[in-house]
Structure 1
Amino acid sequence: MSFAGFPDEGLVFYEGLEADNTKTYWTRHKSSYEQHVRAPMQALLEELAPEFGPAKMFRPYRDVRFSNDKTPYKTHQGAVVHPEGGGAGAWYVQISADGLMVAGGSWRLESDQVARYRRAVADGVHGPHLEAEVGRLSAAGWAIEGEKLSRVPAGFAPDAARAELLRHKSLHATRRWVPAEWLHDRRALDEVRAAWRDLRALNAWLADNVGATTKEPRARR
């Protein structure tokens, strides 16, 4: 199946889900989700896979075990491509009633990865490269996001070079588009592909300087 765009019916499905996030609504409109959301997203990912690698599409169900919000379904469909070896730096795409979102970078870093990230940021060679790339992305319209400390972490001077980047515990760049006609045809594929290509340097920096965690996976309770 080739990608032909995200149908307007998929956005309408999510508008309804936002208004009525219940099993009743989901059951009644599940065929619309499968046809107008999941199938187009799968087709998009299959066309991107030869260049970026296989993607994981997230389940539509929310994990409500530790949340005060008990609504059962996500009001968006997301998918992620992780680098080989599970290192830092990934590509993300999401469709919802609000439109299209693409992003890249790291959303969650373990403590050993954060330590390597900070050393690289402080380094006189690697740090300026990241600073320049973040500046380029920001100037191009990307939102630079990620969990941050309120101040420069311990072990670094408050006026250290690249202090803003040192405060990050994760780092990713995001771009959003509101619904438009091009979203419903193959131009959406072109936009996602171009955006992901624009994130290559950021993901490469994270892969080279942060890499995969060496911590043992947490045991499930």
Structure 2
Amino acid sequence: MTPSPPTASADVPGIPLDAVAFYRELESSNSREWWAANKQRYAVSVQEPMAHLGDVLTEEFGEPKLFRPNRDVRFSKNKAPYKDHQGLFVPTSARMGWYVQVGADGLRTAGGFYASESDQLARYRASVADELVGARLMKIVDTLSDSGFDIGGDVLATRPRGIPADHPRLELLRHRTLSASRDHGTPDWLEAEEVAQRVRADWAAMRPLIEWCDQYVGATEKPGRR
């Protein structure tokens, strides 16, 4: 598909294909000089359409946060100054909620909890181990998987201490974080108003997972980490 030119964002009711082209070019030109030359293009093809998408979904899911494009390189070996995608996040509890991004591979939706403190992890594992609550999560995850979502997160290579090898929810207990995601790529509807309908449908399908995480994991109670 040929990317649309970076004209006024109002000309494209969805996410311009130029947003994908922008990040594909950024992969080989991630410098402040290149960004300065393409700053207006970023605003028109990426920032404004993603902000509009968030506005459309706010009433149903909550106030979104559009992440800044700059990377924090202070403690990273990778000194590339800019992120290789534009993310938008709607939080419920701290470090969990709904997510959508556009990058070089196209559009991606996701949801779940993406980081955990020790108290959150303890609550998560206790809930998964509970016969009723854990079975409810298993059903949610199985439904999402059967619907085409990828189930991911930070997963231990071995089982947690004290968990038997034959535990019926061992795979879930190995998770330190838990998410569902779907990669859409660059479909015909990316530039159309339908993009909001597609993201809305994915997020609605993820709602049981988000609500489970919000209820049984919740925000950390550690001072300064909320």
**TM-score bucket of the superposed structures, by smaller chain:** over 0.9
- Aligned AA (1:196): W
TM-score, structure 2 as length reference:
0.92
Q: Does structure 1 residue 74 correspond to structure 2 residue 83?
A: yes
Counterpart of 2:34 in structure 1 is 25
Structure 1 segments of 4 or more deviating over 4 A?
none
**1:133 equivalent among 140, 146, 155:** 140
Task: Name the Cα RMSD after superposition.
Answer: 1.4
- Aligned AA (1:51): E
Counterpart of 1:168 in structure 2 is 175
Q: Following the alignment from structure 1 to structure 2, what is the Cα–Cα distance between the partners of residues 156 and 8?
A: 47
Counterpart of 1:52 in structure 2 is 61
Cα displacement string for residues 97-142 of structure 1 (whole angstroms, at most 9, x for unaligned residues): 2110000000101100100000000001100000011011111111
What are the within-5 Å matches in structure 2 for residues 181-220 of structure 1?
A: 181-217=188-224
Cα displacement string for residues 33-74 of structure 1 (whole angstroms, at most 9, x for unaligned residues): 001100000100001000000011111001111111111111
Q: Does structure 1 residue 118 correspond to structure 2 residue 125?
A: yes
Confirm or deny: 8 A CA contact 1:87 1:207 kept in the other structure.
Answer: no
Q: Does structure 1 residue 12 correspond to structure 2 residue 21?
A: yes
Q: Following the alignment from structure 1 to structure 2, what is the Cα–Cα distance between the partners of residues 7 and 166?
A: 40
Aligned residues: 216
Confirm or deny: 8 A CA contact 1:105 1:172 kept in the other structure.
Answer: yes
Q: Following the alignment from structure 1 to structure 2, what is the Cα–Cα distance between the partners of residues 202 and 88?
A: 14
Between 1:2-11 and 1:194-203, the stretch displaced more is 2-11
- Aligned AA (1:80): F
Q: Following the alignment from structure 1 to structure 2, what is the Cα–Cα distance between the partners of residues 200 and 210?
A: 15
TM-score, structure 1 as length reference:
0.94
Confirm or deny: 8 A CA contact 1:89 1:202 kept in the other structure.
Answer: no
Between 1:112-121 and 1:178-187, the stretch displaced more is 178-187
Q: Does structure 1 residue 153 correspond to structure 2 residue 160?
A: yes
Q: Does structure 1 residue 92 correspond to structure 2 residue 99?
A: yes
DSSP 3-state at the match of 2:183: strand
Q: Following the alignment from structure 2 to structure 1, what is the Cα–Cα distance between the partners of residues 155 and 224?
A: 23
Shift of 1:87: 4.6
**2:74 equivalent among 52, 58, 65:** 65
- Aligned AA (1:105): G
Counterpart of 1:41 in structure 2 is 50
DSSP 3-state at the match of 1:199: helix
- Aligned AA (1:140): S
Q: Following the alignment from structure 2 to structure 1, what is the Cα–Cα distance between the partners of residues 89 and 26?
A: 23
Shift of 1:154: 1.1
